[in-house]
Structure 1
Amino acid sequence: MKRLENFDNEYLFVLPKTFIEKLITTPITSNLYLTNLGFFPNAEYHYVSREHGAEEWIIIFCTGGSGSATINHVRYQLHQYSLIILPPGVKQVYQASENDPWDIYWLHFTGKLATDYPNIFTDKPFFIDHIQSNEVDTIMRYFWLMIKTYIPGFTYNRSLYTSQLLGLMLVELSLNTGKISNGVQGSPYVDTAISYIYDKIDEPIRLDTIAQHLEISSSYLSRIFKSITGKSVNQYITQLKMERATYYLSYTNITIQQIADRLGYTDSYYFSRVFKKEYAVSPKHYRERLA
């Protein structure tokens, strides 16, 4: 039961050919522009096969679950926070895992200057096995902003804006190739702890579990974490989970119970209390204010 699209709570934007023709003939947007954009959560049976590839470059950013991309008979495994950029005109097959289907942001883009970003554009895929720490939120934010921009419809100004966001994202990737500093320096233990928190953000996370993973004591981890970040481990985890909750509330239709479940809270009422403490409104009222 292979599917190209039509997933629950998906976002899918395909720019009309007549609109793309306007972008091609306008000097600024002709340099770099999107043609397709989307977000597929829990994309069960997702499968795409192109014998001769696509006409555009394709970015796939996996934020949950897993899948694979096979490009010219070379297979790349994607898991949470993997990213791949596929070059145009090459045989490609990409698909969600059967047992753990992926959540992916994706887009197609092209333009006269599309290949001018260093470290990315060759005849081979650009692959990051695991994007680090706050680069995850940076890349995710660019995708959400592009999606949010096109929700009301397609206009030239909106496409100009999305092309600039795309350019920023490509520069981010070309400069750092998945190794953006998380802004926290002074201890490899803290760096690793933050990376671990991002990896497990959709699960219950405990201080002692992180300390055990790092093979250090909980008290030592607490001390160095707060001295470097200014927050306790639990404060950092809660803040990150609530930030992720705002994404779900703003850009998906999943229920508050489902959001709580995704973020590792077994009790949705407790999740709501934590959210209200962080944002001064309940998740329900937060979503209603956006309507």
Structure 2
Amino acid sequence: MTISDGFPGQRLHVLPRPVVADALTRPGTSHLVATDSGYFPHARAHGMTRTSGIDQAIVIACTKGAGWCEIKGVRHEVGPGNVVILPPHVPHRYGADPADPWTLWWLHVEGRDLLEFLHEAGMTADAPVRSVSDVYRVVTLIEEVVARMARDSTRESLVAASGAAWHLMAVLSSDRVSQSPRAAAVENAREYLRSHVAQRVSVADLAALSGMSASHFAALFRKHAGVAVLQFHTQLRMDRARALLDTTDRTVAQIAEDVGYDDPFYFSRIFRKTHGVAPLEYRRQHKG
């Protein structure tokens, strides 16, 4: 026998559905609304079965213990540091491990930006469980939602909770930690490029480090990063150049060399193509 709530020390907050319906029509909350949220410590016998799903996506962050979720007939194990994302309108089941029940922070979200977030992050029914690079950051944002919902259901609290939920979904969308070796290879390559901004790095070099052919690696990188390898490296160089123009008095030639360009004229051409203005014109712009 399983139970949906009622755990010692739990926190549980549910918005009245008329309030949710109203929030989904208003600026500031229509993009994303946290409809339910909570904290279940050491949730022994916790479990839920929904045969037709719900209107909201469910986000569950496990900080201790273990559990599982089942979707489309496939069971997925869940442990500390894992986040479960269950899409809306999809039947599912989940529950705590009997011997080592999980501790959860969770929330339900709905709104017009939701499907875009799920698509961008690859949060699908086929891959509902993911590891994240910083589960404490995820928990902090869910805790902020819980705290705001605990205060009251005034407009101010709803907007604050919605903002924290939007931030959470953005973090999950951009966090590419994965148990897939191929996705890990791409992330390792991206980190390598970040730490070697000024060096000449070829696709073949990166592919060799990952043990792949150049063509296979290039296609895989574009799929996971959204841009080609050399375009990503150029973006990093332009980011560094912009920071140097904003924070130092170094000449354009010096900055070009700092970010890996031997020819300052070629550097300036790439900078203008990226930013729409030449480096010195960019430096003269008022910012901040």
Question: What TM-score does the superposition give when structure 1 sets the normalisation length?
Answer: 0.58
CA RMSD of aligned residues (A): 2.2
Structure 2 match to 1:34: 34
Between the aligned partners of 1:112 and 1:26, the Cα distance in structure 2 is 12
Listed as ranges, the matches of 1:1-291 within 5 Å are: 1-117=1-117, 118-122=120-124, 124-128=126-130, 130-132=131-133, 135-178=134-177
Deviation of 1:75 (Å): 1.0
Whether the aligned pair in 2 keeps the contact of 1:86 and 1:124 (CA below 8 Å) is no
- Are the equivalent residues in 2 in contact too, given 1:64–1:103 (CA < 8 A)? yes
Matched-pair contact (CA < 8 Å) for 2:78–2:129: no
Contact 1:71 1:125 in 2 (8 A): no
Match of 2:121, SS state, is: coil
CA distance in 1, matches of 2:18, 2:121: 33
Q: Is the 8 A contact 1:10 1:39 kept in 2?
A: yes
- The CA deviation at 1:115 is 1.3
Q: CA deviation at 1:123?
A: 5.0
Deviation per CA, 1:124-153: give whole Å up to 9, x if none: 44421x323xx1221111011111112222
User: What residue identity is the alignment partner of 2:170?
Assistant: V
Cα displacement (A) at 1:177 = 2.5
C-alpha distance 169-178 of structure 1, shift in aligned 2 (>3 A): farther
SS at match of 1:25: coil
Note the C-alpha offset of 1:21. 2.2
Deviation at 1:84, TM superposition (A): 1.2
| 8 Å CA contact retained: 1:87, 1:124 | no
Contact 1:62–1:102 under 8 Å retained in 2: yes
Distance 1:78 1:121, change over 3 A: closer
Partners in 1 of 2:91 and 2:147 — Cα distance?
31
SS in structure 2 of the partner of residue 80 of structure 1: coil
What SS does structure 1 have at the residue aligned with 2:43? coil
Work out whether residues 58 and 106 of structure 2, in 8 Å CA contact, stay in contact via their aligned partners in 1. yes
Aligned residue pair count: 181
Structure 1 residues 150-159 or 172-181, which shifts more? 172-181
Q: Greater CA radius of gyration, 1 or 2?
A: 2
Offset at 1:18? 2.0
Q: Distance in 2 between matches of 1:155 and 1:169?
A: 21
Q: Is the 8 A contact 2:61 2:135 kept in 1?
A: no
Is the 2:86–2:124 contact (alpha carbons within 8 Å) kept by the matching residues of 1? no
**Distance in 2, Cα, partners of 1:124 & 1:107:** 20
Q: Which amino acid aligns with 1:131?
A: V
Aligned 8 A contact 2:54 2:90 in 1: yes
Paired-residue identity, %: 27
- Equivalent position amino acid for 1:96 in 2: A
Name the CA shift for 1:161/1:125 in 2 (closer, same or farther; >3 Å): farther
In 2, Cα distance between the equivalents of 1:79 and 1:126? 13
Give the secondary structure class of the aligned counterpart of 2:24: helix
State the Cα distance separating 1:156 from its structure 2 match. Answer: 1.4
The 1:171–1:102 alpha-carbon spacing in structure 2 relative to 1, beyond 3 Å, is: same
Cα displacement (A) at 1:53? 1.2
In 1, Cα distance between the equivalents of 2:25 and 2:49?
Answer: 30
Gaps of 5+ in 2: 179-186, 196-288
C-alpha spacing 1:54/1:26, structure 2 compared with 1 (3 Å): same
Query: What code does the residue aligned with 1:65 have?
Result: G
Residue type of the alignment partner of 1:163: S
Q: Secondary structure at the match of 2:38?
A: strand
